Amino acid sequence: MTSKLDQLRAMTTVVADTGDLDAIAKLTPVDATTNPSLLLKAAQLPRYAQALAEARSQAGGDVAKACDLFAVRVGEEILRLIPGRVSTEVDARLSFASEATYAKAMNLVELYNQRGIGTERLLIKIASTWEGIKAAERLEKAGVQCNLTLLFAFAQASACADAGVTLISPFVGRIYDWYKQQTGIDYQGSEDPGVQSVSRIYRYYKQNGYNTVVMGASFRNTGQIEALAGCDRLTISPALLESLAADQGSLTQQLQAGQAGEARQVLDENAFRWALNEDAMATEKLAEGIRLFAADQLKLEALLA
C-alpha cells in the first residue's frame, strides 16, 4: 500500500506551505506558498542569513524594499527545488488600496525578473478584499497570475472567479477555528465547516465552468486534507505532509468534476460587501488575518531595519 501522501498526489496537486528549504527538498511538492508569517520564520533560519544581509545592503535604507528583496530571494531559493510556482504575498497593509496593491505586485514581478525569473514561475498573493480582487483582475489582464488569499466567504470566491484570477486559497483551518470557538464542537471530516466551504466553492466552479483553481489552505489536521482529496490543489504544512507520508491507509477521492453545484451568481461591489458583512465568520477572520499578516510584516521590517 502506498502512503496517503502518494495517493493524494494522484488526485490533487500538492503544494508546500513553507519557506523551509530542507522540508521542501524532502517532501518534493509541485508548488510552494509563502506569506509574511512564513517569511518571518525563514528570516530567523541560519541558511537565510546571507539573503538577509544582501537585502539590507541592496535596499539602501528602505526597509519596505529590503522586505521585498528578501521575499524574492526566498522565492528564488524555493524555485530551485520545485518544478512549479512560488506564491509571494503583497504587503497586507495594502489590502484596501487597489492601486497600491497593483503597483506593489508589479514591483515584485520586476524584482524577480531582475533575477532571471519570469511570471510563468510566479503567483502574486493578494488578500480577497474587494480592492484586492479588483487589483488582481487588472494584474491578470497584464499577464501576472494571482493567488487570492485570506478567503473565507462564498462571496469572495464568486467575485474572484468572475475577476478571472488564476487561483484562490480558502482557509479551511481558520474557518474551523471560528466555528469550534462558537459552538465547542470539534468538527470531523465532511461535517467540518471549513471542509464544507471549500467543497461548495469547488463544485460551484466546476458547475459553472470557471478556470480558477481552488487550493485549500490552512489545515489543522490530516482529516481536513483527506476530506478534500480531489480538490484542484492543497497547500499543506511540512508537519502534516510528513504525517500523510507516514500513513499507509487507504485514501478515497471526495471531490471530482461533475458533482452538482449552484447556479452562477454575479456580485457587484455593493452585493459583495453586503454578503461579506452578513457572514460574521468571514468578516472577523478576514480582518484578523490581515492584522496578523501586517503584524508579522512589521516584525520582519524590524528585523531588516
Q: Could you tell me if 236 and 225 are in contact, meaning their C-beta atoms sit under 8 angstroms apart?
A: yes
Q: Could you tell me if 54 and 65 are in contact, meaning their C-beta atoms sit under 8 angstroms apart?
A: no
Q: Is 275 helix (H, G, I), strand (E, B) or coil?
A: helix
Catalytic one of 26, 65, 104, 125? 125
As a whole number of angstroms, the distance between CA 217 and CA 234 comes to 6
As a whole number of angstroms, the distance between CA 101 and CA 104 comes to 5
Does residue 41 have an active-site annotation?
Answer: no
Give me the phi and psi of 198, to 5 degrees please.
-65, -40
Q: Using the structure block, give the residue that is written with the C-alpha cell 474551523.
A: 176
Q: Using the structure block, give the residue that is written with the C-alpha cell 525563514.
A: 42
As a whole number of angstroms, the distance between CA 157 and CA 165 comes to 10
Q: Could you tell me if 28 and 43 are in contact, meaning their C-beta atoms sit under 8 angstroms apart?
A: no
Q: Could you tell me if 197 and 172 are in contact, meaning their C-beta atoms sit under 8 angstroms apart?
A: yes
Which residue spans within 120-212 are E strands per DSSP? 122-127, 146-151, 167-170
Q: Residue 251: CB partners within 8 Å, gap ≥ 6?
A: 4, 7, 8, 226, 229
Q: Residue 135: CB partners within 8 Å, gap ≥ 6?
A: 98, 99, 101, 102, 105, 126
As a whole number of angstroms, the distance between CA 214 and CA 221 comes to 19
Q: DSSP secondary-structure letter at 305?
A: -
The closest alpha carbon to 74, from 110, 147, 24, belongs to 24
List active site positions. Answer: 125
